[in-house]
A and B are shown apart, each in its own frame.
Chain A
Amino acid sequence: MKRFQLHLCLLLLTVSATGTAATIEMTVNGLVCAFCAQGIEKKLKKFPATAEVVVNLEHRLVAVSLKEGQDISDADLLKALKDAGYTVKSIERNDTPIADVREKLKQVKP
């Protein structure tokens, strides 16, 4: 019985980990100044599911880390960026922790 419970817990953890992306990375056009970044950050932080926002002008990247078990749909993200005045070129969901995204941005040159 105990082994069954352990397997069940592991299974649930696995489903939870893979069912929701940790980070959403978007490539955004028109991202050339700090005011642009400030406006986008302010807009995305209004989503209850947003844990953290990273904006990088060099890579035209906007990354949103999600609170555990929560999500923001692509449609909602596209609308938010459009309402902020910017154009999203691509959206990618992954399990990369936001700290790793930051580190990658420091190291990788475009």
Chain B
Amino acid sequence: MIRLFIVLVAAAVAAPVMAKPIAFADGTTVMAEYGAGTMQELQIFYAPRFDYSIGGGHVDFTSDEDSQTNHITYARLNWLAHRWNLDDAQANVFVWGGLGSATGNSFSGSTFTGNAGGQADYETRRVYASLKSDLQRSSQFSVRVDTLQLGVAPYKHDYGGIATWFVFQARHYTDNLHSGIETAALLRLFKGGAWIEAGVTNAGKLQAMAMFNF
């Protein structure tokens, strides 16, 4: 338990409440995630307005169950379908879609891919919840990653200060990438436009993400 705490504190630096495909109007978001060896993803998006962003990314999937790997590079459009601005809270529904190309060790050459997904989230300055589903589909494979995050902040942060969040994550992979539900305990820190989170999964693997908005 102490080792887990030390790992979390040491790995985390500074980050906001929940990763969103659109940070703010006229803003650029760069995000990198290391998903316990099963999924590694890098994304960059630019938002001309607060309600949509364009960009792309690259994701690598490596199955825990067999030796299958897929490498997908895609372009994507993210759209904020609805936002609720409440007195002390905010809730959002995002959807996205894109096209790309993939290679893998279970087929030869490259294959055309389609990407679709969505996210619903709710946050105050002390609690948040998000549910995200992301599908990458081709004639050779179909991978969907569903992620639930529940977070609690030990104190209310303010702009300019460091925000701290304790996050529980549950993730489900399809296409035989991972057996069962993968859970993780994360420490998330952010300040200004920088966010870093890190933790360990129930299998003892590293789960980490960094995001920068500017």
Contact = CB atoms under 8 A, between A and B. Distances in A.
Interface stretch (A4-12, A15-23, A54-62, A67-75): A54-62
B83 interface: yes
Contacts of A30: 83-86, 89-90
Interface in B109-157: 123-125, 156-157
B27 A57 contact: no
Contact of A87 (B85, B89, B191): B85
B79 interface: no
B53 to A, nearest CB: 12
Contacts of A43: 24-26
By secondary structure, the B interface counts as loop
Contacts of B86: 29-30
Contacts of A83: 25, 49-50
A37 to B, nearest CB: 4
A34 B24 contact: no
Interface in A27-62: 28-40, 42-43, 55-58, 60
B208 interface: no
B90 A36 contact: yes
B163 interface: yes
Contacts, number: 88
B89 A37 contact: no
A37 B159 contact: yes
B50 A84 contact: yes
Interface in B80-121: 80, 83-90
A29 B124 CA distance: 11
Nearest to B162: A34
Nearest to A55: B159
Nearest to A58: B158
Interface string B5-48: 00000000000110010011111000000000000000000000
Contacts of B182: none
B49 A33 contact: no
B88 A85 contact: no
A30 B124 CA distance: 9
A52 B84 CA distance: 28
Nearest to B26: A42
Given A33-B123, A42-B25, A83-B50, 16 more contacts: A29-B86, A33-B90, A33-B163, A34-B192, A35-B24, A35-B193, A36-B24, A39-B27, A42-B24, A42-B27, A55-B159, A56-B158, A57-B157, A57-B159, A85-B50, A85-B51
7 contacts: A30-B83, A32-B89, A33-B163, A38-B24, A60-B87, A85-B83, A87-B85
Interface of A: 28-40, 42-43, 55-58, 60, 83-87
